Structure 1
Amino acid sequence: MHQDADRYHRVRAKLAARARRRAVASPADLPAPEQRALAACRELVAAAGEVKRISKVIGDSLSACPMMKDPVEFNDRGPATHLSQAYASENVENDSGHGMHKEWMEPSDALEIISACPHCLAAHNAIQERKVARRRLGAARRVVTMIGKST
C-alpha cells in the first residue's frame, strides 16, 4: 500500500474521517432537550438581529449615494442608484422571436458600475453578508420548528 501513494492517502483520509465521526459526541454528551431548545432560541434571536442590523447598514449606505441625494432618474422602486443600475435587468426578445426574457449584465461590468460609488459598494458588500445571515436565520428557524414538532 505504501508503494501507491494515492491509495495510501485515500485510505488514510477515510480512516481519519471515521475516527472523527466516532469522536464527535456520544449520546451521553448531548445536552438536555431544554438546553438544545434554549440554544436554538438564542441562535434565532442572534440571527434575526444580524439580518436587521445588516439591512440598516444597506439602507444607510444607499441613502448616502450621491445619485439618491440628487435623483435624476426614477424607476419603479424609487430613485436610481449605482447599485440599482448594476442590478437592473433588461428585457430582451427571445432568439425565436416569441416572447421576452430578462438578461443581466456581466458581473465584471456590474462591479465596475458599483465601484464608482463607495456607498453603493458598501451596500453591495452588505447585501452579500445579508445573504449569509439569512441562510443562518433560515437554519435557526428550521431547528426551532423541528424542536416544536418533536414535542
Structure 2
Amino acid sequence: MSLVTSSGYAHVRLTVTDIERSVAFYDRVFGWDKAVDAREHQGEPGLEEAPEKFYGGVVYQTPQGSLFGLRPVGSQPFRSDVTGLDHVSFAVASRADLDAAAQALGDSGIPHGEIIELADAGIAILSFQDPDDVNLELTSPLD
C-alpha cells in the first residue's frame, strides 16, 4: 500500500538561464496560455527567495491541466548526467501527431532526433533540446 494517493503531477518547473529566450522557445513550440507571467519582477531585490512572485518566471497552463513553469536562475548550464532532471516528455495524441510534430520542428529549424519506437512501453518518442539543452521528448502511443 502506498503512503500517498496521488492522481499524478500538478506542475513541473525548469530552471533556465535566459527567461526571455526560453519563453520565446516554449511559446513557439507549444503555444500554451500563460497562467502566470511574473517577468515584471525581474531585477527586484530578494526575487530568488520569492515564490509568491514565481521567482520572476512564467507558468504555462497545459491542455492536460497540469502546469509547466520556467524559473530564471542565471548561467549554470544544464546537465542531464547529474542528480536532478534527465528530461521532460510531453504527450501527443497519436503517432500521426508525432510525425507532424517532427515535420513542424524541422520546418522551423529546430533540430530533433529520429522517432524511436519503444515497443515494450507501447510508445514512440521524438527528442529535441530546449535553449538550455534540456532534453524534451514528445511521446505518442504506438498506433
The alignment's TM-score, normalised by the length of structure 1, stands at: 0.19
The alignment's TM-score, normalised by the length of structure 2, stands at: 0.20
Give the structure with the larger helix fraction. 1
* Structure number, greater radius of gyration: 1
